[in-house]
Chain A
Amino acid sequence: DVKVTQSSRYLVKRTGEKVFLECVQDMDHENMFWYRQDPGLGLRLIYFSYDVKMKEKGDIPEGYSVSREKKERFSLILESASTNQTSMYLCASRTDRGFEKLFFGSGTQLSVL
């Protein structure tokens, strides 16, 4: 089975800190995604990457950046964390060889104080 692993289940950071959320997948998938999930708003796409060193903005990229130096790893970076970035962050991956389903990690609950 495909495994998408997010480095932390819970994370607490202070306002202004630089935050790295790491995601690793073990199935050689080309596409990787970062979503955030907030009550009443569903999942919203922050960034996605369709290959190494490639990235595209999703629907809410402001305040975030990403890094994809290796195929298996996709990092979400909060350059200066703010309280409105307190959220559940979900990583997903997928192959681009024809239609394939998304595989999600279990999520990282980030609290910014």
Chain B
Amino acid sequence: DAKTTQPNSMESNEEEPVHLPCNHSTISGTDYIHWYRQLPSQGPEYVIHGLTSNVNNRMASLAIAEDRKSSTLILHRATLRDAAVYYCIRSGTSYGKLTFGQGTILTVHP
């Protein structure tokens, strides 16, 4: 039970913004929201994480709804290298297990 819901797939054009949604309606007050992505033939890599506030880093932005029941990963300008499976995960402790779901397959068109 991944406890998050994501669309199976999304498509985007190169250099356009991409908004990847995630629903986590049963999230508890102390659960973090993490995003990882998996490029073809590689293990997943960390993208971003947050608790309550919106977060930005060099890879992406994370927008968290005020009620924390959903979040959106934002890629500001998609490139072909961003084509990957994106996983949204929630976890309650720093060392607890992270349960991945099926993720969203992002296709980026030239």
Query: How close is B94's CB to chain A, nearest CB, in angstroms?
Result: 5
Could you tell me how many residues of chain A have their Cβ less than 8 Å away from some Cβ of chain B?
30
The main secondary structure of chain B at its interface with chain A is loop
B contacts with A, residue count (CB < 8 A): 21
Q: Which of B36, B49, B94, B97 has the most CB of A within 10 A?
A: B97
B→A interface (CB under 8 Å): 2, 32, 34, 36, 41-46, 49, 87, 94-95, 97-103
B43 near A106 (CB under 8 angstroms)?
yes
Q: Which A22-54 residues sit within 8 Å CB-CB of chain B? A: 30-31, 33, 35, 40-45, 48, 50
A33 to B99, CA, bound (A): 11
List residues of A (68-113) whose CB comes within 8 Å of B's CBs.
Answer: 90, 92, 94, 96, 98-107
